[in-house]
Amino acid sequence: MSTKVKSNAFLVAISAVILGLIAGGLLMMAIGSNPFEGFYYLFRGGLMSMERVGNTIATAITLMLVGLSVAFAFKTGLFNIGASGQMLIGGLAATLVAHYVFLPRVIYIPVIILAAFAAGALWGVIPGFLKAKFNVHEVVATIMMNWIAYWSIYYFIPAYLKGPSLETESRSIAIEQSLRSDWLTDFFGGGYINLGIFVAVVAVIVVKYVLDKTTLGFELKAVGSNRFCAEYAGIKVNRNVIISMMIAGGLAGLAGMTFYTGYSRNIQIGVLPSMGFDGIAVALLGASNPIGVFFSALFFGLLQSGKGFMNAMTDVPPEIADTIIATIIYFTATSVLFSRFWDKVGKRKKERNDARTAKAEAQESDHE
Partner 1 sequence: MSHVIEMLNIRKEFPGIVANDDITLQVEKGEIHAILGENGAGKSTLMSILFGLYHPDRGIIKVKGKEVKITNPNDANDLGIGMVHQHFQLVQNFTVTENIILGKESHFILDRKSAAKKIKALSEQYGLKIDPNSVIEDITVGMQQRVEILKMLYRDAEILIFDEPTAVLTPQEIEELMQIMRNLVKEGKSIILITHKLDEIKAVASRCTIIRRGKMIGIVDVATTSQAEMASMMVGRPVSFKVEKGEVEVGSPVLEISHLNVLNVKKYFAVKDFSLTVSRGEIVGIAGVDGNGQSELVEAITGLRPIESGTLTFNGKDMTHYSIRERNEAGIGHIPEDRQKRGLVMESSISDNMVIKEYYREPFSKNGVLRQQVIDKHAEEICEAFDVRSGEGIFSHAGKLSGGNQQKAIVGREMVLEPDLIIAVQPTRGLDVGAIEYIHKRLVEHRNKGKAVLLVSFELDEIFNLSDRIAVMNSGELIDVVYTQQTNEDQVGLMMAGVKSKEASV
Q: Which residues bind partner 1 (CB under 8 A)?
A: 1-2, 4, 213-219, 221-222, 225-226, 228-236, 351, 354
Backbone Cα Rg of the chain: 23
Output the smallest distance, CB 215 to partner 1, in A.
5
Q: How far apart are CA 70 and CA 89, in angstroms?
A: 16
d(CA 84, CA 191): 24
Q: Cα dihedral sign for 344, 350, 352, 355?
A: negative
d(CA 339, CA 344): 8
Q: Which is nearer to partner 1, 137 or 348 (CB)?
A: 348
DSSP code string of 33-99: --HHHHHHHHHHHHHSSHHHHHHHHHHHHHHHHHHHHHHHHHHTT-----HHHHHHHHHHHHHHHHH
Q: Which is nearer to partner 1, 183 or 232 (CB)?
A: 232
Rounded to the nearest whole angstrom, what is the least distance from the CB of residue 58 to partner 1 in the complex? 33
Q: Which is nearer to partner 1, 100 or 228 (CB)?
A: 228
Please report how close the Cβ of residue 209 comes to partner 1 at its closest, in angstroms: 9
Q: By C-beta, is 2 or 365 nearer to partner 1? A: 2
CA torsion through residues 262, 264, 269, 273, sign: negative
Residue 28 or 222 having the CB closest to partner 1: 222
Is residue 262 a contact partner of residue 55, using CB atoms and an 8 Å limit? no
Type of residue at 211: L
Q: How far is the CB of 314 from partner 1 (least distance, A)?
A: 46
CB-wise, 75 or 180, nearer to partner 1? 75
In the complex with partner 1, the residue whose CB is nearer, 137 or 347, is: 347
Q: Taking the complex as a whole, how short is the minimal distance between the CB of residue 348 and partner 1, in angstroms?
A: 11
- Rounded CA-CA distance 204/125 in Å is 21
As measured in angstroms, the least distance from the Cβ of 230 to partner 1 is: 8
Least distance CB 231 / partner 1 (angstroms): 7
